């Protein structure tokens, strides 16, 4: 008798699990990205921004952005002018150290961008990618110029709306 009900129970279990999603949804990730992005900008700016400046947030991760197949993502973006040192290499190294000190390395893995011109006269770019079910990518870009700029771009993965 139990053998006759087993296929039905398995089918109902599969149907029930098909509607479930594992991990946080895009709204939860967006709220967390907003908190984390603001925290990172603030902490790095506290040690590295040009005196008297505060970070400017241009995307606050509060809106769903369509990315195909009925999926959406959230985006966070902000920047500030970076305090230049006499040697741009030292400026970029100091900026990287400031980010490294502020970021949760238990949550993120580090990816160096091959192919990006990491020349002291141009800039530096590096990315931290969320581990496990934390589907967030943070990209940090330092650009050279009269006033070096620190920019943070974070986005969630494309998830079901």
Kindly report, residue by residue over 77-120, the tens digit of the pLDDT. 999 998 777 777 777 777 888 888 888 877 887 765 544 555 65
Q: What is the pLDDT of residues 109-142, one digit of tens each?
A: 776 554 455 565 677 888 888 887 778 899 888 8
83 and 98 Cβ atoms separated by less than 8 Å: no
Residue 18 has pLDDT above 70, yes or no: no
Residue 153, pLDDT score: 95
Residue 19, pLDDT score: 43
Q: Provide CB contacts within 8 A for 113, sequence distance 6+.
A: 125, 126, 127
61 and 76 Cβ atoms separated by less than 8 Å: yes
| 3-class SS of residue 81 | strand
Q: What is the pLDDT of residues 42-87, one digit of tens each?
A: 988 888 888 888 999 999 999 999 998 999 999 999 999 987 777 7
Residue 157, pLDDT score: 92
79 and 150 Cβ atoms separated by less than 8 Å: yes
Residue-range domain boundaries for the chain: 24-160
Residue 7, pLDDT score: 43
pTM: 0.79
Q: Does domain 24-160 have CATH number 3.30.2030.30?
A: yes
Cα-trace Rg, the chain: 21
Joined tokens for residue 125: 């770019």
């Amino acid at each position: 008798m139990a053998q006759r009900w087993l296929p039905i129970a398995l089918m109902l279990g599969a149907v029930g699990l098909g509607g479930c999603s594992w991990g946080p949804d895009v709204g939860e990730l967006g709220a967390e990205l907003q908190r984390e992005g603001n925290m990172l900008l603030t902490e790095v700016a506290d040690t590295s921004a040009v005196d008297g400046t505060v970070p400017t947030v241009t995307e606050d991760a509060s809106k769903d952005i369509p990315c195909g197949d009925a999926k959406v993502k959230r985006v966070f973006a902000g920047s500030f002018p970076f305090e230049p040192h006499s040697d741009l290499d030292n400026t970029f190294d100091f900026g990287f150290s400031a980010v490294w000190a502020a970021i949760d390395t238990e949550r993120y893995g580090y990816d160096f961008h091959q192919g990006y011109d990491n020349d002291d006269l141009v800039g530096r770019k590096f990315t931290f990618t969320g581990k496990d079910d934390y589907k967030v990518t943070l990209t940090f870009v330092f650009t050279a110029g009269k006033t070096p700029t620190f920019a943070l771009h974070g986005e969630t993965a494309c998830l079901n709306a």
